[in-house]
């Protein structure tokens, strides 16, 4: 036993639940939850709500100090003030309290100043600025700390954050839909709706949980996708694509010429580009061949239907697909993207699979056969994680064994 007291699982599990409420809003920071317990009763709860804002511990401490019925009744029963309750409480937090001055002052310092005598931590914080220093700071101040409590469970909420910090790239989810006989479409580049409405809603629920969504050139040109989460409330992901061989550029120039439109952006041309990807209704990023970067500048200046940013990012083009996937991930890490869903097409998915640049694969499987066509990627050696049925359709989830080991 590490401490003179025995932590209780139910309180840490509540901290995990609270942590998950930050999903979609805190990345690339971790989702963190915290509860404060006085004599087996939760008197305060908090979680990290929004990137750059207060951390979980501070919100939990403030929730005890903000007038509320639970604390008021306890204070009346015990004759103590809320500050006194804190000085006799145990704080459960899913991640090691931070020790650094970041966008907010260190949580370890706040805990010490508040006089909380016992802290239970699930996972250590791999951020080099913290990495054990938070726990050390607490112990040096005389706080009793119980570490590694329900650590494996806690790690589930930190998969994205740990990948971002330790592998220096976003957490990568590959997602595709296939027919029951394993085809993506009847033929390459010809879109067809594979799965039904309920999986479409699920897909949008998935999209709001991640920072970015990427599709390849072929998908942009064939499907003209919106890449948003219109069937689910939440934050819209950054949409990402790539135009290594100028095909999208050529398509746009051809469209402008055929429609007698100039290629010089002006206010009256707002929203006149042919592809939804460029409509500026959502933050958007396009990787292009670095040697042709200047040819794309007019797109970034083109007014859209909305005012969201469109960023053109140059990359060095090589014929090695996995290297291109790695280049995209480097570019997205620079943009502080903590997680990415890659939704196809097959070539883009394959470049992430071959380079082993992925953490999760989610396959949507329809109940209909296509009877032939363009085959779905093969699942590489992996750990089957879950198989769920939605009506007559299925979602199979696999995890990368290697990333599981690292985390
Ligand atoms: C905690 N509790 O709730 C979170 C922590 O830029 P800042 O100041 O928000 O700091 C971000 C870093 O702080 C993040 O990378 C991670 O190491 C830690 N996040 N720590 O004690 C929290 N969200
Ligand atoms: Zn903190």
Instruction: State which ligand 1 atom lies nearest to the alpha carbon of 55.
Output: 3
**Residue-by-residue DSSP string for 194-227:** -S-HHHHHHHHHHHHHSSEEE--HHHHHHH----
Taking 90 as the threshold, does the pLDDT of residue 237 lie above it? yes
* pLDDT recorded at residue 92: 98
Which residues contact residue 140 at a Cβ distance below 8 angstroms, ignoring those fewer than 6 apart? none
Q: What is the pLDDT of residues 248-271, one digit of tens each?
A: 999 999 999 999 999 899 999 999
Instruction: State which ligand 1 atom lies nearest to the alpha carbon of 56.
Output: 3
How many angstroms separate the alpha carbon of residue 48 from the centre of ligand 2? 9
How many angstroms separate the alpha carbon of residue 114 from the centre of ligand 2? 14
Phi and psi dihedrals of 341, rounded to 5? -105, 130
Q: What is the pLDDT of residues 28-41, one digit of tens each?
A: 999 999 999 999 99
pLDDT band of residue 404 (cuts 50, 70, 90) is: low
CA dihedral 192, 193, 195, 196 (to 10 degrees): -160
Instruction: State which ligand 1 atom lies nearest to the alpha carbon of 32.
Output: 3
Sequence ranges of the domains in the chain: 9-164, 169-406
DSSP state of 166: I
Q: What is the pLDDT of residues 117-159, one digit of tens each?
A: 999 999 999 999 999 999 999 999 999 999 999 999 999 999 9
Taking 60 as the threshold, does the pLDDT of residue 406 lie above it? no
Strand-strand pairing, 310-315 and 284-289: parallel
How many angstroms separate the alpha carbon of residue 164 from the centre of ligand 2? 18
Q: What is the pLDDT of residues 33-92, one digit of tens each?
A: 999 999 999 999 999 999 999 999 999 999 999 999 999 999 999 999 999 999 999 999
What's the mean per-residue pLDDT of the chain?
Answer: 94
End-to-end CA distance of the chain: 25
**Atom 21, ligand 1: which residue's CA is nearest?**
97
Taking 90 as the threshold, does the pLDDT of residue 378 lie above it? yes
Phi and psi dihedrals of 249, rounded to 5? -60, -45
- Give dist(CA 329, CA 313) in Å, integer: 12
* pLDDT recorded at residue 233: 86
Size (the chain), residues: 407
- What's the token pair of residue 42? 């939760």
Ligand 1 pocket mutation pick from 16, 93, 98 by most atoms within 8 angstroms of CB = 98
Instruction: Please tell me which residue, 235 or 363, carries the higher pLDDT value.
Output: 363
Supply the residues annotated as catalytic: 57
How many angstroms separate the alpha carbon of residue 138 from the centre of ligand 2? 13
Q: What is the pLDDT of residues 173-213, one digit of tens each?
A: 999 999 999 999 887 766 667 888 889 999 999 999 999 99
CATH topology classification for 9-164 = Cytidine Deaminase; domain 2 (3.40.140)
CATH topology classification for 169-406 = Dihydrofolate Reductase, subunit A (3.40.430)
The answer to whether the CB of 10 falls within 8 A of the CB of 319 is no
- Which residue from 108, 112, 92, 89 is spatially nearest to 100, judged by alpha carbons? 108
- pTM for this predicted structure: 0.92
Which protein residues touch ligand 1 with a CB less than 6 Å away?
Answer: 29-30, 32, 48, 52, 55-57, 95, 97-98, 102-104, 107, 125, 127, 130
Q: Is 203 exposed, middle or buried, given 0-12, 13-18 or 19+ CB atoms closer than 10 A?
A: buried
* pLDDT recorded at residue 405: 59
Residues 402, 95, 173, 322: is their CA dihedral positive or negative?
negative
């Amino acid at each position: 036993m590490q401490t003179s007291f025995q932590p209780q699982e139910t309180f840490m599990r509540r901290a995990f639940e609270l942590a998950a409420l930050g999903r979609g809003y805190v990345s690339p920071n971790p989702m963190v939850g915290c509860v404060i317990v006085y004599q087996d009763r939760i008197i305060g709860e908090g979680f990290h709500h929004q990137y750059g804002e207060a951390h979980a511990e501070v919100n939990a401490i403030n929730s005890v100090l903000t007038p509320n019925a639970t604390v008021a009744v306890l204070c009346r029963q015990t004759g103590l003030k809320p500050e006194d309750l804190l000085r006799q409480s145990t704080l459960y937090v899913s991640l090691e309290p931070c020790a650094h001055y970041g966008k907010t002052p260190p949580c370890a310092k706040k805990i010490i100043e508040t006089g909380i005598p016992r802290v239970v931590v699930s996972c250590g914080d791999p951020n080099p600025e913290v990495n054990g220093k938070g726990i050390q700071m607490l112990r040096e101040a005389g706080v009793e700390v119980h570490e590694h409590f329900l650590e494996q469970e806690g790690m589930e909420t930190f998969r994205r954050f740990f990948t971002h910090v330790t592998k220096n790239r976003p957490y990568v989810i590959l997602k595709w839909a296939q027919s029951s006989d394993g085809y993506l479409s009847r033929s390459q580049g010809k879109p067809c709706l594979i799965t039904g409405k309920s999986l479409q809603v699920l897909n949008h629920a998935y999209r709001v949980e991640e920072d970015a969504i990427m599709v390849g050139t072929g998908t942009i040109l064939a499907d003209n996708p919106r890449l948003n989460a219109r069937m689910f409330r939440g934050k819209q992901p950054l949409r990402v694509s790539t135009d290594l061989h100028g095909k999208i550029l050529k398509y746009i120039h051809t469209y402008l010429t055929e429609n007698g439109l100039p290629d010089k952006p002006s206010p009256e041309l707002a929203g006149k580009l042919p592809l939804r990807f460029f409509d500026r209704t959502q933050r958007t990023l396009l990787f292009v061949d670095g040697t042709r970067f200047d040819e794309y500048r007019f797109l970034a200046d083109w007014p859209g239907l909305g005012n969201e940013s469109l960023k053109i990012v140059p990359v060095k083009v090589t014929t090695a697909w996995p290297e291109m996937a790695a280049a995209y991930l480097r570019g997205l890490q620079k943009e502080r993207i903590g997680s990415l869903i890659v939704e196809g097409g097959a070539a883009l998915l394959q470049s992430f699979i071959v380079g082993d640049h992925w953490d999760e694969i989610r396959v949507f499987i329809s109940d209909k056969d296509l009877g032939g066509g363009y085959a779905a990627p093969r699942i590489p050696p992996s750990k089957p994680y879950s198989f769920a049925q939605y009506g007559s359709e299925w979602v199979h989830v696999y995890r990368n064994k290697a990333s599981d080991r690292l985390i």
